[in-house]
């Protein structure tokens, strides 16, 4: 989805003045920026104009200051709160929110006065099929990604045995309790009710993340185990993992009750949170003005799509729910994968700084070689990264999968890796590597998995953005020469000693062999040959004499923009080149003489070796989602943040990408002189 148009923060004349009396509005840059993009001019002083507003943080201890001023000047109050998907880490640990809830009627967790959210839930039609489709896709992505308001939990943590009653604790004194019709005593009542209504069932108490982090106490503690079969959930368990094995869910006013609804539960609610009263909860303290019956998708659409203001920190603008979710997914993935740290082996010196930026946000990457790398990973509990097919052969240390094989992603840069242009995307595969068909890779698994709601639509939009911008893996090349009329077949040259050819080729392993096969099967066709850009640049071996082309009647295309070239040909022949994948996105038939990652799925004409583990028959959109969205990790070159594929497409289209410095350019030229000995520098 495209971001909503918003006023620029610099246009202060058109912004509404928002007077605040809490330091957080002034010191938290992200909050001020979101407010500015929403056309609120945050100020100190007195609200003297008739259209001035007073800003307060929810029902926080500082909110009475603003409420008093608003009452004295008869000015409306804007209540600001965190959204229901907030950040990876806790706000109390300094993490900035990825959006805000801005409410001019009340605040979503206070049941005494209807909030903007309650009015939406009560009066909005919520019957638009597109909106509800977005809601269902959003719910699927949140469930698949194990996402919540905070995201410190680990989806790989083993869940408890099923059959328990889940009781959700909250932090003492939280405003959502006191303004949600409850007290501290309500939590004790909730525990007794859960035990009484489910005699003999084990009770599993889930503490608030801030309690687990030691910031604020909860209502339950170890002493409560004496009351019966009561245990506390492992803090590393995600809400989705806890819901999976629960026979019932009890809450007072926690947001986790909302998440329980999304997971298919009908939670027992003892307070009056925003999600109670709509027919999706068992309400022990009903809010009588709420009489409408809603579906889960309708509740989600209002609470997650229509009500919040979402922010894109990479492109510094307000954005849609889907764009926010892509950004949060990227940040959560990076945190979860990197939190234990890495030891990297087989990494050339010029790559190390870029690897550190990708994988060293939580703990610095340690660079070791050989047995030292294996020992460092074993002793520290870190995962082991190895470049491509280098490094240890085994994928386990002491029986634990720890080795991830790193390679460039398929939307890489503007410029060649052999020119030492840094990558915008990397993949780290825990099973194999995408260009080795002899063993199943993480990418193979992603392609074969059933598509979630909304995945193919997202991939379709990404394909359109890529083709509209004319993007490819390296995004280099010049103008096209005139091409002869006729049925044009593009034959894609490769670096013949490249790992993708060594591991994925069939009987035909050379560029001349590929040319001969294409010509033999297509008499009368115009054969257009494009060498690999590394070979053209003199950085890798593989360029053959022009006479070999002339003898075959083929046309050599030098330094042509591959994306533009694909639009001028009728089909593509390749061994294993990723240009075949780019051709598929542009609707071109592709013949493979090897077994690249995109072959064997029923989407290409395959003349190479069969890949037995590729049995699924995905759509092109599913293949693209797996290869460009789910498999790689991307790093925004402007902000340094983990980001989704869509941000990188935007950066590449606008040329907002890094360039190698003078030192790297000198080193790349030296590499060209040593092209026949690339093992020295690759």
What's the pLDDT tens digit per position in 68-104?
999 999 999 999 999 999 999 999 999 999 999 999 9
The number of angstroms, rounded, from the C-alpha of 446 to the middle of its chain's C-alpha atoms is: 14
CATH of domain 12-113: 3.40.50
Report whether pLDDT(679) > 70.
no
Give the pLDDT confidence score for residue 2 in this predicted structure.
Answer: 42
SS3 call for 57: strand
Give the pLDDT confidence score for residue 422 in this predicted structure.
Answer: 87
- Mean of the pLDDT values across residues 620-638? 97
- Mean of the pLDDT values across residues 260-266? 98
Report whether pLDDT(139) > 90.
yes
Strands 605-606 and 590-592: parallel
Q: pLDDT-based confidence at 659, cuts 50/70/90?
A: low
User: What are the residue ranges spanned by the domains of the chain?
Assistant: 12-113, 130-300, 317-448+662-673, 472-636
What's the pLDDT tens digit per position in 308-319?
999 999 999 999
Q: pLDDT-based confidence at 532, cuts 50/70/90?
A: confident
- The residue among 652, 668, 669, 638 whose CA lies nearest residue 350 is 668
Give the pLDDT confidence score for residue 538 in this predicted structure.
Answer: 65
Q: Looking at residue 218, what DSSP letter applies?
A: B
Q: Can you read off the two tokens belonging to residue 213? A: 């982090």
Strands 383-387 and 403-408: parallel
Give the pLDDT confidence score for residue 660 in this predicted structure.
Answer: 60
Give the pLDDT confidence score for residue 216 in this predicted structure.
Answer: 96
- The residue among 529, 524, 572, 525 whose CA lies nearest residue 550 is 529
β-pair partners for 560: 478
pTM of the model: 0.92
Question: CA-CA distance, 566 to 470, in Å (whole number)?
Answer: 10
What are the E-state strand segments in 136-271? Answer: 164-168, 203-206, 230-232, 246-251, 268-269
Query: For residues 621 and 15, which has the higher predicted lDDT (pLDDT)?
Result: 621
Question: CA-CA distance, 2 to 54, in Å (whole number)?
Answer: 31
Question: CA-CA distance, 79 to 103, in Å (whole number)?
Answer: 5
Please answer whether residues 567 and 480 qualify as being in contact, where contact means their C-beta atoms are separated by less than 8 angstroms. Answer: no
Place of tokens 């190698």: 660
CA atoms in the 13 A half-sphere facing the CB of 300: 24
Question: CA-CA distance, 457 to 17, in Å (whole number)?
Answer: 40
What's the pLDDT tens digit per position in 183-224?
999 999 999 999 999 999 999 999 999 999 999 999 999 999
Q: pLDDT-based confidence at 672, cuts 50/70/90?
A: very low
Radius of gyration from C-alpha coordinates of the chain: 29
Q: Can you read off the two tokens belonging to residue 598? A: 């995109």
Report whether pLDDT(675) > 50.
no
Say which CATH topology domain 130-300 has: Rossmann fold (3.40.50)
Are 130-300 and 472-636 the same fold in CATH?
A: yes
Question: CA-CA distance, 447 to 627, in Å (whole number)?
Answer: 8
CATH of domain 472-636: 3.40.50
Q: Can you read off the two tokens belonging to residue 565? A: 């070239």
Q: Is 78 exposed, middle or buried (0-12, 13-18, 19+ CB in 10 A)?
A: buried
- Measured N-to-C along each axis, helices 255-262 and 129-144 cross at an angle, to the nearest 10 degrees, of 100
Q: DSSP for 376-414, please give it.
A: HHHHHT-EEEEETT-S-S-SEETTEE-EEEEEE-SS--S
Q: Is 245 exposed, middle or buried (0-12, 13-18, 19+ CB in 10 A)?
A: middle
Place of tokens 């919040």: 308
What's the pLDDT tens digit per position in 167-186?
999 999 999 999 999 999 99
Please answer whether residues 637 and 656 qualify as being in contact, where contact means their C-beta atoms are separated by less than 8 angstroms. Answer: yes
């Amino acid at each position: 989805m495209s971001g909503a148009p918003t006023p620029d923060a610099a246009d202060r004349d058109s912004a509404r003045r928002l007077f605040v009396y809490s330091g957080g509005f002034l010191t938290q840059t992200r909050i001020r920026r979101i407010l500015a993009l929403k056309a609120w001019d945050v100020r100190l002083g007195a609200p003297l104009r008739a259209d001035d507003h007073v800003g307060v943080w929810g029902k926080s201890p500082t909110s009475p200051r603003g409420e008093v001023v608003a009452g004295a000047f008869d000015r409306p109050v804007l209540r600001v709160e965190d959204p229901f998907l907030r950040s990876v880490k806790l706000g109390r640990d300094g993490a900035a929110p990825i959006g805000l809830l801005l409410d001019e009627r009340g605040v979503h967790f206070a049941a005494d006065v209807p909030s903007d959210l309650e009015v939406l839930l009560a009066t909005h039609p919520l019957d638009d099929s597109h909106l509800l489709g977005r809601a269902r896709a959003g719910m699927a992505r949140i469930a698949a990604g194990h996402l919540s308001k905070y995201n410190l939990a680990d989806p790989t943590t083993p869940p408890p045995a099923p059959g328990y009653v889940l009781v959700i604790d909250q932090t003492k004194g939280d405003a959502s309790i006191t303004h949600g019709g409850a007290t501290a005593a309500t939590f004790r009542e909730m525990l007794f009710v859960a035990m009484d209504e489910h005699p003999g069932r084990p009770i599993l108490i889930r503490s608030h993340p801030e309690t687990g982090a030691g910031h604020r106490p909860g209502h339950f503690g170890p002493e409560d185990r004496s009351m019966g079969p009561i245990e506390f959930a492992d803090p590393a368990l995600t809400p989705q993992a806890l819901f999976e094995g629960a026979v019932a869910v009890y809450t007072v006013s926690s947001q986790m009750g909302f998440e329980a609804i999304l997971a298919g539960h009908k939670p027992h609610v003892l307070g009056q949170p925003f999600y109670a009263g709509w027919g999706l909860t068992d309400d022990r303290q009903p809010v009588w003005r709420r009489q409408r019956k809603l579906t889960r998708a309708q509740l989600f659409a209002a609470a997650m799509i229509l009500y919040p203001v979402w922010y894109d920190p990479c492109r510094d603008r307000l954005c849609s729910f889907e764009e926010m979710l892509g950004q949060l997914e990227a940040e959560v993935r990076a945190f979860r994968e990197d939190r234990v740290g890495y030891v990297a082996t087989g990494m050339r010196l010029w790559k190390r700084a870029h690897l550190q930026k990708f994988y060293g946000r939580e703990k610095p990457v340690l660079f070791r070689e050989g047995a030292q790398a294996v020992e460092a990973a074993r002793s520290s509990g870190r995962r082991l990264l190895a470049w491509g097919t280098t490094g240890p052969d085994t994928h386990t240390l002491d029986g634990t999968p720890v080795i991830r094989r790193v390679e460039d992603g398929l939307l890489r840069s503007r410029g060649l890796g052999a020119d030492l242009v840094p990558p915008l995307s990397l993949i780290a595969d825990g099973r194999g590597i995408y260009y080795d068909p002899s063993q199943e890779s993480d990418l193979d698994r992603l392609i074969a998995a059933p598509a979630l709601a909304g995945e193919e639509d997202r991939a379709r939009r990404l394909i359109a953005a890529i083709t509209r911008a004319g993007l490819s893996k390296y995004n280099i090349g010049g103008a096209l020469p005139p091409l002869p009329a006729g049925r044009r077949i593009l034959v894609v040259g490769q670096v013949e000693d490249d790992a993708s050819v060594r591991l994925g080729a069939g009987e035909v392993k050379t560029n001349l062999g590929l040319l001969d096969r294409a010509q033999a099967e297509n008499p009368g066709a115009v054969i257009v040959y494009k060498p690999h850009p590394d070979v053209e640049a003199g950085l890798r071996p593989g360029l053959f004499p022009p006479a070999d082309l002339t003898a075959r009647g083929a046309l050599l295309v030098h330094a042509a923009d591959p994306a533009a070239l694909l639009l001028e040909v009728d089909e593509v022949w390749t061994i294993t080149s990723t240009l075949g994948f780019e051709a598929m996105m542009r609707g071109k038939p592709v013949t493979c003489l090897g077994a690249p990652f995109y072959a064997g799925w029923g989407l290409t004409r395959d003349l190479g070796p069969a890949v037995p583990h590729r049995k699924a028959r995905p759509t092109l959109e599913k293949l693209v989602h797996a290869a460009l969205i789910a498999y790689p990790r991307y790093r925004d070159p402007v902000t340094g943040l983990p980001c989704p594929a869509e941000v990188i497409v935007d950066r590449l289209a606008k040329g907002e990408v890094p360039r190698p410095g003078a030192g790297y350019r000198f080193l790349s030229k030296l590499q060209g002189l040593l092209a026949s000995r690339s093992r020295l520098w690759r």
